[in-house]
Structure 1
Amino acid sequence: MMEELILSIVIVNYNSEKHLRDCLLSIEKFPPSKGDYEIIVSDNGSCDNSLELLVREFPYVKVISNDENLGFSKAANKAIRISKGKYILLLNTDTELTQGTFDLMIDLLENDPRIGVAGPMLLNRDGSVQPSVRPLPTRTHLMLGRRSLLTNLAYFRRKSARLRLIAEDIVEADLVSGGAMFIRRDAINEIGLLDERFFLYMEDVDLCRRMKEAGWKVVYNPHAKIIHHWEGTSSKQRRRAFLKHHISIYKYFQKYEPGFFRNLPLAIALVVHYLCWWVYSLFESSSPPKRIENGSWRK
């Protein structure tokens, strides 16, 4: 008799052959021990050797080969629609599993049927903690984002750190990172799939917000850990991704606080910030993101 398909691991890939291979090898090394699982890679028209890699080294992986870059949400939704697991894991290509993570997260979901979304602790390669749990964004919070130029100033850096204090135990949160997000199928069936207006970024924020508005819990579990490599993209790719991020921020606020004139100052601020960041990035040497200070969780 076949074991229950407990987990569907959904990975969206775009020209990330090396990261994809390391990610899949880590799943092989530390697989779930309770129930069977499947892996679905939705490839966004990669022009590297990603598809050849999957055929050659990971023939058991289900592959969706998109003809073009559909963006994260649309590509992930295509995989979610054909997935069969009780739970879904949205997993970035630039992640690596650690021992026991799958079982800790599945146990968490099994023990509380009202959890709709759950996220593990994300770590940098050197073991320092990434800010993977935070409150829902406000217009003020935009000034304190990870890549905001204002966080180069001590005052705003301290303010930003307070938004990213690290929980030391399992806790309910406003949102968890989409870099490694466990989702209950019953919950996403109820509220709907990822919003495809978000090409890249903010789809995780939107999903967590809709989960909470529908009465589902969003939970952070720091006992389960996944390594997340933020570095590894070229300067050109970072600038393109950052532009998409700014566009998605505008679309997020336009969705929940609609109005052209209401959001016109936000649009202007986002354009100015992106242009300033673009100039700044030309002179900034490539480096991993800044660490954050450990601290106690605050509501």
Structure 2
Amino acid sequence: MKKISVITVNFNQPLVTEALLASIAKTNTYTNLEIIVVDNGSKTNEISRWKSSYPDVTYIRSEANLGFAGGNNLGVKAATGDYFFLVNNDTEFTEGLVQTLVDALDKNPEIGIISPKIKYFQFPDTLQYIGFTPMDYYTCRNKCLGQFEKDNGQYDHITAPTGFCHGAAMMLRKEAVEKAGPMTENFFLYYEEMDWNEHIKRAGYQAWVCTDALIYHKESVSVGQGSSLKEYFMNRNRILFIRRNAPLHKAIVFYAYFMLLVVPRNVLNYIKQKNYNFISMLFKAIWWNITQSKNSKKLGYPI
């Protein structure tokens, strides 16, 4: 039986993380499992309290907020499993989740990374993810398949390649991570898992989805809807993703598209919505990409 390392990152959300741990304890029947919680620079250190309720969990404390990639990389470094199951702390497990994903990886050695079906926790009959289309590098856009549809079983029993796995829940083969390397930490937040997907595929593996495995996701608990933090990193990292992954001729078309169409449209939307501070976030995101290398560790945003 393969050993599975479940890795999750907490940032100032102890109750959300506890709900995840409770859901694992309630639903999981996979016996060869280690659980790793990375506390990613939270204001208060809840580890001693968590240990009293969940003593078998491995806890790692970072005094600094290392972002989604950095926090998960800490967990991966400590993991001893054959497969790594990275899950957002704002997810909750269901019965058979781990075993179903393990079975898919065991049967298909070409899989380097796989995600389950994801449904919205607040709307448990509504799908969030059953796969992604490939990335259009001219616009840095792709489509999340199934999103907002009612789950009537129309996507059941699909285990197949997909454009990208979803960062909220992705199980990886240890060998794929060793070949592709860790997540790139200068993304900090957003697009880092898509960049990782690309590097795993370049290492000779495939990204798959398995819709017979299910996890629930409390969308945008960590950042919140419409925050300046989200606006900055979504724009900055959209450009950074293209810089790191797109062929030069496609990147040039993207830069023109972004500056001539996306920027004016976004500025108009910010004004209509009276989110005037988002305008400066957009231009800070652009300026970062002009002034920093694609491997720069400077975030450009005061965390």
TM-score range, shorter chain: 0.7 to 0.9
SS of 1:69 mapped into structure 2: coil
Q: Is 1:117 equivalent to 2:108 in the alignment?
A: no
The one-letter amino acid of 1:129's match is L
Q: Is 1:183 equivalent to 2:172 in the alignment?
A: yes
TM-score (norm 1): 0.77
Give the 5 Å matches for 1:76-115: 76-115=72-111
TM-superposed CA distance for 1:136, in Å, is 2.8
> Percent of counterpart pairs with the same letter?
23
Q: Is 1:265 equivalent to 2:256 in the alignment?
A: yes
Q: Deviations over 1:87-135 (max 9, x none)?
A: 0011001100011111111111111222111110001122211035212
SS of 1:103 mapped into structure 2: helix
The one-letter amino acid of 1:265's match is A
TM-superposed CA distance for 1:32, in Å, is 4.1
> CA separation in 2, counterparts of 1:143 and 1:209?
14
> CA separation in 1, counterparts of 2:58 and 2:15?
18
Unaligned runs of 5+ in 2: 276-303
Partner of residue 59, structure 1: 55
Partner of residue 200, structure 1: 189
> CA separation in 1, counterparts of 2:137 and 2:203?
23
TM-superposed CA distance for 1:22, in Å, is 0.6
Residues 107, 255 of structure 1: CA spacing in aligned structure 2 closer, same or farther, 3 A cutoff? same
SS of 2:12 mapped into structure 1: coil
| Residues 132 and 143, structure 2, Cα contact 8 Å, conserved in 1 | no
Give the 5 Å matches for 1:14-29: 14-29=11-26
TM-superposed CA distance for 1:40, in Å, is 1.2
Q: Deviations over 1:59-82 (max 9, x none)?
A: 322222111211111111111011
> CA separation in 1, counterparts of 2:269 and 2:46?
31
The one-letter amino acid of 1:221's match is C
The size of the alignment, in residue pairs, is 264
Q: Which has the higher contact order (CA 8 A, sep 6+)?
A: 1
TM-score (norm 2): 0.76
Partner of residue 162, structure 2: 173
> CA separation in 1, counterparts of 2:142 and 2:164?
16
